[in-house]
Structure 1
């Protein structure tokens, strides 16, 4: 079936959703960049392409599409199948808890559990038992910021805070700059290029946020094409996935204020971490998809005392 045939025969969003699901299943695509099934991935591609709310497919299913829209959708469905790139690279957007961010192949597609935790703690009805009062946070840093999405969210959640964001990749920081500008937090967020805490020159913070590369080499060897399309350095956590986490734990105390703490995403390395650091008091945070992928640790647990 030619693309002209597709554009002529398929006229509603429902038509294109069904067609995309069939194509994705036939091609045995992989998911995991914010979607987990062919149906969800197809819905995301269609809705984001048409600038429709990504969580509201049903109201638009029987809407007839313009010829230009049908052509664009057909092209993007074909691109998803033939290139195996994550859908976010095709539409140019990713979402964390409904907040839209620009992404492209210079950065990993953001899908951090930390965004969910921040939303549930600071936008919920109950206060947090571990994270600081959002209005009391005056300084925060996002280590390994990538696309800058967590730094942007931090600026929204901590209205009184100055936010620093660090990444080793100059390309990633260019994308982060786009998102900082798009979300109008330029005056609150500063971007730094460097290795972890390297460019921060002894600065200390009330809160450290970090979602570092934490995939082990065995897992990277088994990546499907969708994951291989992302920058390898954004995944590579060393042989067991925890090389950067160890470095961050070793340095974090030097960059925390006494009443502060750190929230860190590590993937599946809890057992290794707890065995290697039995003296550290990790508080594991539950999310919709995990019970032990993210931990909170206080400045006090990292040995920070007094005023400095």
Structure 2
């Protein structure tokens, strides 16, 4: 993936490389959505990450001149993004949720759950006293990012982080260790609740696979680069969500709450479960893509 000497000589500053990468990404019609929404945002994230600069501070560095080695490194990353079509977070092994950095690679989906945003204020819409939360379950933990954020949001809680993928749990273990939370976050290999016995929790959070089979089949390369297991939710996307709804009550304390991200499935769920009092939670970037349900409401679905 070498670039001609002319390119390396012509593109000297971060501003030069930002313009060049944005042009190349637009020209090649890349697809975004893994933490960025535009070619400019993707270029900025890739460049700042590669240079170990704060990803939310572009302006101070725009006129900074880069060394030859730095320019060669950026040239390789730009071409790699185009040739492999892998999301930028895989190329720099980093993803961010609300100011928190997590290690990622192709063993896990690139973290971008809206639950992460809600955890910033301790899920205040459904959790009245964060200090009173003692046990949290993160189903389908993937990279472990939500489990880490939950441990930070609920300082008195022990967190169980569950995933069916042993490879994903390896990544999660790295992130848990990076935050020094090994004594509070326990990783468990399990098909949803299967390996949890009779353990009960004050809060269950989950960002399960919820993409329809047809949508997965039509994925662009950027999304195909992620583990299919982390996306595929069956014909209508709700296979795992139904299983979670059916079994969550068994694992919730009397005043416990379930919070699940389901994408655009609100109508499907409200039609199928007309008696459930779904509380739909909005975030800065989403509307009605997450629901909360109290343990009492879920009792009627116990299997």
TM bin (shorter chain) = over 0.9
- Residue 288 of structure 2 corresponds to residue 287 of structure 1: no
For residues 107-153 of structure 1, the C-alpha deviation after alignment (integer angstroms, 9 at most, x for no partner) is: 0000000011111x33xxxx934224211100001000000000000
**Aligned runs of 1:21-100 on 2, under 5 Å?**
21-100=22-101
CA distance in 2, matches of 1:237, 1:4: 48
For residues 13-62 of structure 1, the C-alpha deviation after alignment (integer angstroms, 9 at most, x for no partner) is: 00000000011011100000010100000000001111111111111111
- Residue 141 of structure 2 corresponds to residue 145 of structure 1: yes
8 Å Cα contact 2:148-2:185 kept in structure 1: yes
8 Å Cα contact 2:207-2:260 kept in structure 1: yes
8 Å Cα contact 1:217-1:241 kept in structure 2: yes
* RMSD, aligned α-carbons: 1.3
8 Å Cα contact 2:14-2:62 kept in structure 1: yes
CA distance in 2, matches of 1:82, 1:136: 50
Secondary structure at 2:299's aligned position in 1? coil
8 Å Cα contact 1:3-1:74 kept in structure 2: no
CA distance in 2, matches of 1:220, 1:261: 30
Secondary structure at 1:191's aligned position in 2? strand
Unaligned runs of 5+ in 2: none
CA distance in 1, matches of 2:174, 2:249: 31
- Residue 221 of structure 2 corresponds to residue 225 of structure 1: yes
CA distance in 2, matches of 1:239, 1:4: 51
CA distance in 1, matches of 2:268, 2:125: 26
- Residue 193 of structure 2 corresponds to residue 197 of structure 1: yes
- Residue 257 of structure 2 corresponds to residue 261 of structure 1: yes
Task: Provide the residue aligned with 1:169 in structure 2.
Answer: 165
> Which one of 153, 156, 160 corresponds to residue 156 of structure 2?
160
What's the CA shift for 1:79? 0.3
> Which one of 210, 229, 235 corresponds to residue 214 of structure 1?
210
CA distance in 2, matches of 1:27, 1:129: 42
- Residue 110 of structure 2 corresponds to residue 109 of structure 1: yes
CA distance in 2, matches of 1:146, 1:301: 28
Give the stretch that moved more between structures: 201-210 or 4-13. Answer: 4-13
TM-score relative to the length of structure 2 = 0.96
8 Å Cα contact 2:103-2:171 kept in structure 1: yes
What's the CA shift for 1:302? 1.2
What's the CA shift for 1:254? 0.3
8 Å Cα contact 2:104-2:143 kept in structure 1: yes
What's the CA shift for 1:81? 0.6
What's the CA shift for 1:300? 1.6
**Aligned runs of 1:127-138 on 2, under 5 Å?**
128-138=124-134
CA distance in 1, matches of 2:272, 2:27: 44
Task: Provide the residue aligned with 1:297 in structure 2.
Answer: 293
Unaligned runs of 5+ in 1: none
CA 220–129 in structure 1, closer or farther in 2 if over 3 Å, else same = closer
- Which consecutive segments of 4 or more residues in structure 1 shift more than 6 A? none
CA distance in 2, matches of 1:42, 1:216: 30
8 Å Cα contact 1:89-1:103 kept in structure 2: yes
Secondary structure at 1:284's aligned position in 2? strand
